[in-house]
Amino acid sequence: MMRSLYSGVSGLKAYTTGMDVTGNNISNINTTGFKAGRVTYQDTFNQMLASASGSSGALGGTNPKQVGLGVGVASIDTIFTDGNVQATSANTDLCISKAGFFIVSDGSNQSYTRNGAFQFDTNGNYGVTGTGLKVQGWMADSTGKIDPTGATQDLVVKMGQSMPATATTYVNYGKNLSAASANPTITLSDGKKVTYNSLTTTYAKGDTYTGATIKSLDSASYTLSNGTTVTDASGGLSANAFPTTAVPLTIASGSAGNYTLSDGSTVTGATSGLAVGSTYPDTTGVTFTSATALSNGATVTPVTGITYTNGDSFTAKIKTVNSRTYTLSDGASVTDTTTPATVLAVGATYPLTITGVAQTDVSSTISAYETVKGVEHKIPVTMTKVADNTWTVKSSGKTDTGYDVSGLNYKLVFDTAGKYSTGSTWDATSSSYKTGISAASFTTTQAGTVNMTMDFSAVTQNSGSTEAQVTDQDGNAAGSLTSVSIDVNGYLIGSYDNSKTKKEGQIALAVFNNPAGLTKSGSSLYAESQNSGKSQVTTVGHGGAGTLTPYALEMSNVDLSTEFSNMIVTQRAFQSNSKMITVADEMIETLVNMKR
């Protein structure tokens, strides 16, 4: 009878513990990163009244006779399921999802927590709000490298700390150049459009283009100083020679004193003795007798601007030239209206002018920093399609600070699949492109230099829009830290007033083989125990660690509906055990009263 009393008492004790755990869970419903506890129960010692026996002969076996002596708490487990992610406005708040703990330290001992409500103190220490414990991780060295294999340390980032100036050593281009971009063309003064290759020449409106040659030409006509007109197909007469070049007139027909000349004119009263085919006038026998009369009796009009006297000889001179028409090698016809006319022969180059230029240009700017003071120099760059699968990359000539960068002149060639194939650099000595892309450089008045390697291997030429631009480069001006944020990889990213960012450090995470074996030490902290295993320090997403969400905290994983259900079940169990004690007491009282 007394056993039942003690069994009831053990039940009261066990379910009191269960109610304590439920109460603790409910009280921490809003505790950041809190993990709910769970109680499991087990029976205690059993008293053996009779042992089991095996079968023997005609008798079967018997089971043991045992009376239990109550219930006890088997375990109080911590449930490490994820709590909900609660967004915040603090750039230093962090939320772990899945496995992992933040490592915090007081300088001597390390603890572990899921509470990511962190902040920077006045000295730049990244720590736990309310406790002052410092978050552990790895700081970047002077070159910006972080070694996550080394020992963890306090994360310290001070506002206002400086970033030294560094020179630009490389510039990488990426993204796409449209394969649908048209090849370049120029419109000429003869109305034709010509596809050109501008690897070495940049054309502009108004430039002279000498790509077309004269294929054939129509006869030109000349007005002579004697008033006659001569048609000439030789292309060898020009008004430029006026009045020194004579027109070689010949006698086409006629008799003594009356001749018809090769220009169609008629001369009368001339001295006899000239035969058909001879040159008129006969300069050996014809002289001026007056300002308008010749010794052969002919009357002429002298050349304007020249005074003739008796005894001067005379031949007819070219006075004006009518327009000449040329048929060019591009199929166009050009009428030359210059005065005096430009006399060109078949095969000569005709000086056409450019009236328009059409080409695909992509403009961008490189911010380059020099070696001495980190002064910024903006370099204008233009990428131009010059032929199928071929582009040039050139600078317009000067930086915004006035330094010559005209040597920046590259040729990019893509294969038929749109992938970067080869690059070559303009060589001023040989006036040609040579394979291999070298550095673009110039020296400044501050005695600094800019010497950077250009890399276009990540640029593609596919369909779609043209958006090639600088995707990565080094170099910066000096700056001061203005703010710090944490990214999803646990990096502390410093933002500086020179528009640059830098990794200042990285947060360390700890994982355990048995996180439920950790010992709770208050203030949302855990400590290693014999059954949790040693902490395995790693980074976000590695070594079994989960993911990280900045600007967020992990809510408690307590489920109120479960806790209220457990509360009811525990209450009923407690009531049942108390009733058993009452009934057992009544039975004992009845037994005691039997002796009266």
CATH architecture of 170-181+360-477: Sandwich (2.60)
Residue 293 has pLDDT above 50, yes or no: yes
Summarize pLDDT for 234-267 with one digit per residue, the tens: 555 544 444 444 455 666 666 656 666 665 666 6
Q: How confident is the model at residue 68 (pLDDT cuts 50, 70, 90)?
A: confident
Amino acid type, 164: P
Report the distance separating Cα 294 and Cα 300, nearest Å.
8
CB under 8 Å to 365, separation ≥6 — which residues? Answer: 378, 379, 380, 381
Sign of CA dihedral 172, 175, 180, 182: negative
Report the distance separating Cα 157 and Cα 496, nearest Å.
12
Decide if 455 contacts 170 (C-beta within 8 A): yes
Q: How confident is the model at residue 215 (pLDDT cuts 50, 70, 90)?
A: confident
**In 3D, which of 102, 115, 116, 117 has the Cα closest to residue 152?**
102
Decide if 128 contacts 115 (C-beta within 8 A): yes
Q: Considering just the CA atoms, what is the radius of gyration of the chain in Å? A: 52
Domain boundaries, the chain: 2-50+64-70+557-593, 85-161+483-552, 170-181+360-477
DSSP per-residue letters across 42-58: EE--EEEEE--B--BTT
Rounded percentage of the chain residues whose pLDDT exceeds 90: 46
Query: 436: burial class by Cβ within 10 Å (0-12, 13-18, 19+)?
Result: exposed
Summarize pLDDT for 367-406 with one digit per residue, the tens: 888 877 788 889 999 999 988 999 999 887 788 888 888 8
DSSP per-residue letters across 467-488: --EEEEE--B--EEEEEEEE-T
Amino acid type, 170: Y
Query: What average pLDDT is seen over the chain?
Result: 84
Summarize pLDDT for 325-346 with one digit per residue, the tens: 888 888 888 887 666 566 677 7
DSSP classification of residue 5? H
As a three-state string, the secondary structure of 279-320 is EECCCCCCEECCCCEECCCCECCCCCCCCCCCCCECCCEEEE
Q: How confident is the model at residue 98 (pLDDT cuts 50, 70, 90)?
A: very high
pTM (2 decimals)? Answer: 0.64
